[in-house]
Chains A and B, each alone.
Chain A
Amino acid sequence: MKIRIGFGSCGIAAGARKVLAEFEKEFSQRGLDIPITKTGCNGMCFNEPLIEVFDQDGQVFMYGKVMPEMVKEIIEQHVIGGQPVTEYLVSDDDLGFINKQKRVALRNCGNIDPESIDDYMASGGYQAFEKCLTQMTPEQVIEEIKISGLRGRGGAGFPTWFKWNATRQAKGAPKYVICNADEGDPGAFMDRSLLESDPNSVMEGMMIAGYAVGAKEGIFYVRAEYPLAIKRLEMAINQARAKGFLGNNILGTGFSFDLRIKAGAGAFVCGEETALIASLEGERGMPRLKPPFPAEKGYWRKPTNINNVETYANVPWILSNGGAAFAAMGTATSKGTKVFALAGKIKRGGLVEVPMGLTLREVIYDIGGGIIGDKEFKGVQMGGPSGGCIPKEQLDTPIDYESITKTGAIMGSGGMIVMDETTCMVDMARFFLDFTQKESCGKCYHCRLGTKRMLEILNRITSGEGKDGDIELLEELSVKIKEGSLCGLGQSAPNPAQSTIRYFRNEYEDHIYSKKCTAKKCKPLLTYSINEDVCTGCTVCAKKCPVQAIKGERKKPHVLDQSLCIKCGNCFDVCKFGAVQVD
């Protein structure tokens, strides 16, 4: 008998600490000596806090959305009585969320204790690294990665073996490997979850990369907003040192390598590799011109290999199972699996890993369960602020680098924000431009000022002051900004606007010419009114109105004074009878 509890950031935010405390209290009161282990996130964020009960006969039962009040019942009925509390168990339907996936990068997430290297080793950890050091030459390692067809998971999808090889071939010493854990795309959390749930596999991938390119040191650049990831990584590095996987003369092979962590300081552009390197050197995180690429002149102008967290997490699996096994999954040009962070208006938000080539529909509907409240699907944003929005007509697009790029979005790092009929596409474009405009480092003026101008136009449109010609101006600026920017931030900043104009031009036109927001999101374009036939005169809306724009006697229909209304929407939210209308 054993209890396992999900202790990733999402689990903790959903209340896992309180649940754990309740279990510990009940166990000690009853004198039960049952081990409780903590694990990371198994991806089912929508069901957190998650508890697994391992029976005597090895059966596993998963409880979802566990509240402290439920703990007593689970203990009495299941742990002591042997009868699972069926109504709290995760439904078979929800289990489909996991069963339909293929887990390579996430293979250990939710299954092992991320704070224990022994747990990682018990599931095969560090065998790939040992195999590389003792049985393979660096060239053979690179060859295996080449066979696997692994491409970078950080956004651009560059072949990993090519970068490794370039770094290996480059002249100069010492060489470095860097792990890009800056995860700047707001709305994506694959890298956080991986580092929190299985830090060792990312480290092992980096160590193998270090061996392959001939580096002595590896650096993690982790986003400062991820304190738990940093803590677990620190622990794992210390444990790996104690086991002799890091340090001098590792496993007696003469190979020396060590890892360290640098916390980022909050700048989206620092996810861009040359900006990241500038930041590591203690400077403002401004991108540098490429070439020279980091593989030739990177950290301190030395050959540097830089990869994303998920890219590294795939590496030990590839070396254990062979490049061909990885290449057997996916499509002709996009091999293997990819992790996606499902969020937004989706029923089952969380982390999923699927073979490349599955369609968006399969991920969003079959795995993600579709839209909350069964509303109408409108689009899915892929690639965050650098990506674009894919409309419902293209839901059958297969997920591979080329097909996604064709839609005007990008694969990006794996963020998938699902949007429904209540999401305004012009507002989304405005939201992303607001983000990139703030995050532009200011080096290139097309990026610095162009994004500002685009934001002004989008602000104008969403506040009901859009003019004829605005759409065309946005299109023109988009092209100019892309042409005039040095790094990927500027080169992709117009993407959200361009793709929403491409697929949802009618929404832009509604805003500009009819002064209407069909998604009912842009406040200045809305008119609230009270339907006299439905209003019961309960007075709740009048009480909640912050500007006393609603008047009327008790039990008589109320009226809303348009000249006073500030369109806060309070009346709409509080009316129980559906008497408040928005147009």
Chain B
Amino acid sequence: MQCCCGEEKKLEDRFSDNDVDLKPLQTVLDKYKNESGSMITILQQTQEIYGYLPKKALLHIAEETGVKPAKVLGAATFYTQFRFKPIGKYLVMLCQGTACHVNGSEKIEEAICDELKIKDGETTPDNLFTLENVACLGCCSLAPVMMINGEAYGKLTPQSARKVLREIYKKETNS
């Protein structure tokens, strides 16, 4: 029976249908598939391989581990760390934690969104930047903070945030 509220379709749309090579996944599965309680570790390492969790990989994990697909997807969608769409080359994690909020992270977000012309969770058309709002990067005394591919930038102003992005952009388009 077809569901009538459209939720099923909405859920499907969250996942990317890309065709991916499952081979690199095998070493992860060989290592963990028989270890109980390792589903989250498997998902984390899968995301490390692909940068996100492709639907094809999720179904493959279900098959290999013998865990029902619904359970695999259930675990995957529960945690904010997991993404279901590919991301850009640079992942901009903008802190929206309490300290950053109090110190004006909203203005930083406005500046970044304006600079990159994307919103939270989106990727620029050239696949360079993805913006992701996160809750606290643990550098609260340097608020507001953002982290780009593991590198943290503190005491941001709208101008300095734009500058960081522009420098990356320049570096990428020159080479």
- Measured CB to CB, the residues of A under 8 A from B are 9-10, 12-14, 45-46, 48, 183, 185-189, 192-193, 223-227, 262-268, 279-285, 300, 341-345, 349-350, 381, 384, 415, 417, 419, 423, 428, 431-432, 435, 441, 568
Quick check: A13 and B140 within 8 Å, CB to CB?
no
Q: A10's contact among B39, B101, B142, by CB below 8 Å, is which?
A: B142
User: What's the minimum C-beta distance from A250 to chain B, rounded to whole angstroms?
Assistant: 25
Known: A282-B37, A284-B74. Is A187-B141 also a contact (CB below 8 A)? no
Residue of A nearest to B158 (CB): A573
Give Cα A12–Cα B142 distance, bound, in whole angstroms: 11
Interface residues of B in 80-118 (CB under 8 A from A): 80-82, 95-99, 101-103, 110
B contact residues around A266 at 8 Å (CB): 79-82
Quick check: A267 and B79 within 8 Å, CB to CB?
yes
User: What's the minimum C-beta distance from B74 to chain A, rounded to whole angstroms?
Assistant: 6
Residue of B nearest to A420 (CB): B102
A contact residues around B80 at 8 Å (CB): 265-267
* 14 A-B residue pairs with CB within 8 Å: A10-B154, A45-B142, A46-B141, A186-B136, A187-B136, A188-B140, A225-B138, A267-B79, A281-B36, A341-B141, A344-B99, A417-B102, A419-B102, A568-B110
Asked if B15 is at the interface of the complex by the 8 Å CB criterion, the answer is: no
Number of residue pairs spanning A and B whose beta carbons lie under 8 angstroms apart: 134
A contact residues around B79 at 8 Å (CB): 264-267, 285
* New A-B contacts (11) at CB < 8 Å, excluding given A224-B44, A262-B41, A349-B143: A9-B138, A12-B152, A186-B96, A225-B137, A226-B138, A227-B150, A265-B79, A281-B37, A282-B39, A284-B75, A435-B135
Known: A344-B103, A431-B98. Is A45-B141 also a contact (CB below 8 A)? yes
Quick check: A187 and B98 within 8 Å, CB to CB?
yes
B contact residues around A284 at 8 Å (CB): 74-75, 78
B contact residues around A381 at 8 Å (CB): 98
Known: A265-B81, A282-B75, A423-B102. Is A189-B138 also a contact (CB below 8 A)? yes
B contact residues around A224 at 8 Å (CB): 44, 81
Quick check: B152 and A187 within 8 Å, CB to CB?
no
Known: A187-B136, A343-B143, A350-B141. Is A282-B154 also a contact (CB below 8 A)? no
Quick check: B75 and A341 within 8 Å, CB to CB?
no
Give Cα A514–Cα B40 distance, bound, in whole angstroms: 50
Quick check: A384 and B98 within 8 Å, CB to CB?
yes
User: What's the minimum C-beta distance from B114 to chain A, rounded to whole angstroms?
Assistant: 8
A contact residues around B98 at 8 Å (CB): 185-187, 343-344, 381, 384, 415, 417, 431-432
Quick check: B101 and A431 within 8 Å, CB to CB?
yes
A contact residues around B160 at 8 Å (CB): none
Quick check: B138 and A268 within 8 Å, CB to CB?
no
Asked if B38 is at the interface of the complex by the 8 Å CB criterion, the answer is: yes
Give Cα A223–Cα B135 distance, bound, in whole angstroms: 12
B contact residues around A189 at 8 Å (CB): 136, 138-141
Q: Top 5 A-B pairs ranked by shortest CB distance?
A: A186-B97, A349-B141, A187-B98, A13-B152, A45-B141
Chain B 124-139, CB-CB to A under 8 Å as 1, else 0, gives: 0000000000111111
Asked if B153 is at the interface of the complex by the 8 Å CB criterion, the answer is: yes
Q: Point out which of A183, A192, A265, A423 has the most chain B C-beta atoms below 10 A from its C-beta.
A: A265
A contact residues around B81 at 8 Å (CB): 224, 264-266
Asked if B57 is at the interface of the complex by the 8 Å CB criterion, the answer is: no
Q: Point out which of B43, B81, B97 has the most chain A C-beta atoms below 10 A from its C-beta.
A: B97
A contact residues around B75 at 8 Å (CB): 282-284
- Measured CB to CB, the residues of B under 8 A from A are 36-41, 43-44, 74-75, 78-82, 95-99, 101-103, 110, 134-143, 145, 150, 152-155
User: What's the minimum C-beta distance from B15 to chain A, rounded to whole angstroms?
Assistant: 17
Give Cα A350–Cα B140 distance, bound, in whole angstroms: 8
Give Cα A428–Cα B101 distance, bound, in whole angstroms: 9
Known: A345-B102, A381-B98, A431-B98. Is A225-B78 also a contact (CB below 8 A)? no
User: What's the minimum C-beta distance from A220 to chain B, rounded to whole angstroms?
Assistant: 13
Give Cα A283–Cα B80 distance, bound, in whole angstroms: 14
B contact residues around A341 at 8 Å (CB): 140-141
Q: B78's contact among A183, A185, A285, A300, by CB below 8 Å, is which?
A: A285
Quick check: B102 and A267 within 8 Å, CB to CB?
no
Q: Point out which of B136, B142, B150 has the most chain A C-beta atoms below 10 A from its C-beta.
A: B136
B contact residues around A14 at 8 Å (CB): 142, 154-155
Quick check: A282 and B40 within 8 Å, CB to CB?
yes
User: What's the minimum C-beta distance from B143 to chain A, rounded to whole angstroms?
Assistant: 6
B contact residues around A435 at 8 Å (CB): 135
B contact residues around A186 at 8 Å (CB): 95-99, 135-136
Quick check: A13 and B44 within 8 Å, CB to CB?
no
User: What's the minimum C-beta distance from A432 to chain B, rounded to whole angstroms?
Assistant: 8
Give Cα A527–Cα B98 distance, bound, in whole angstroms: 26
Q: A13's contact among B40, B78, B145, by CB below 8 Å, is which?
A: B145
Give Cα A189–Cα B141 distance, bound, in whole angstroms: 9
Give Cα A341–Cα B139 distance, bound, in whole angstroms: 10
B contact residues around A45 at 8 Å (CB): 139, 141-142
Known: A384-B98, A417-B98. Is A187-B37 also a contact (CB below 8 A)? no
Known: A187-B99, A225-B134, A345-B103. Is A263-B140 also a contact (CB below 8 A)? no
User: What's the minimum C-beta distance from A279 to chain B, rounded to whole angstroms?
Assistant: 7
Q: Point out which of B39, B101, B102, B152 has the most chain A C-beta atoms below 10 A from its C-beta.
A: B102
Give Cα A415–Cα B138 distance, bound, in whole angstroms: 11
Give Cα A563–Cα B103 distance, bound, in whole angstroms: 29
Quick check: A343 and B138 within 8 Å, CB to CB?
no
Q: A282's contact among B36, B97, B140, by CB below 8 Å, is which?
A: B36
Give Cα A421–Cα B70 distance, bound, in whole angstroms: 49
Residue of B nearest to A268 (CB): B135
Give Cα A48–Cα B154 distance, bound, in whole angstroms: 11
Quick check: B99 and A13 within 8 Å, CB to CB?
no
A contact residues around B154 at 8 Å (CB): 10, 13-14
Give Cα A368–Cα B74 distance, bound, in whole angstroms: 44
Q: A343's contact among B37, B40, B140, by CB below 8 Å, is which?
A: B140
Give Cα A280–Cα B152 distance, bound, in whole angstroms: 28
Quick check: A225 and B136 within 8 Å, CB to CB?
yes
Give Cα A575–Cα B101 distance, bound, in whole angstroms: 24
Known: A13-B153, A13-B154, A183-B138. Is A417-B37 also a contact (CB below 8 A)? no
Q: B141's contact among A268, A343, A423, A568, by CB below 8 Å, is which?
A: A343
